[in-house]
Amino acid sequence: MQDSIFAKIIKGEIPCHKVYEDEHALAFLDIYPSRPGHTLVIPKVQVDHLWDLESADYQALMDACQKVALRLQQALPCERVGAKVIGFDVPHAHVHLIPIRSMDDFEDKGDMQSEPDHAALASMAEKLKFE
């Protein structure tokens, strides 16, 4: 399988606004966020479908999602952190964690036509990163 954009991010070939990393997972800000703090959590193994992950890799990914979601709730004004698994845009399993106050926030889509605001993303990553 050819490296996905996420595999290239894991290898450091493409930069990201990292929030969290451990030996099994990486979390970074979506460059087209639907809400401020919209974070992608990915396994470090490249698998197209989330459900095809080995059990240990799946559990490690969910553990990372829980840590990041709790951090989002702590750092940002939100009622909940919604989780989405869609999988059409990148052939690498990933979970979207989105700080939300309502269902409208959860269903909001990011503006993929504009250039990413890397200054705002860097500031948000700094606010969210784990010490």
Give the residue numbers marked as catalytic: 94
SS3 54: coil
DSSP secondary structure, 114-129, as one string: SPP-HHHHHHHHHHH-
Cα–Cα distance for residue pair 123/25, rounded to 1 Å: 22
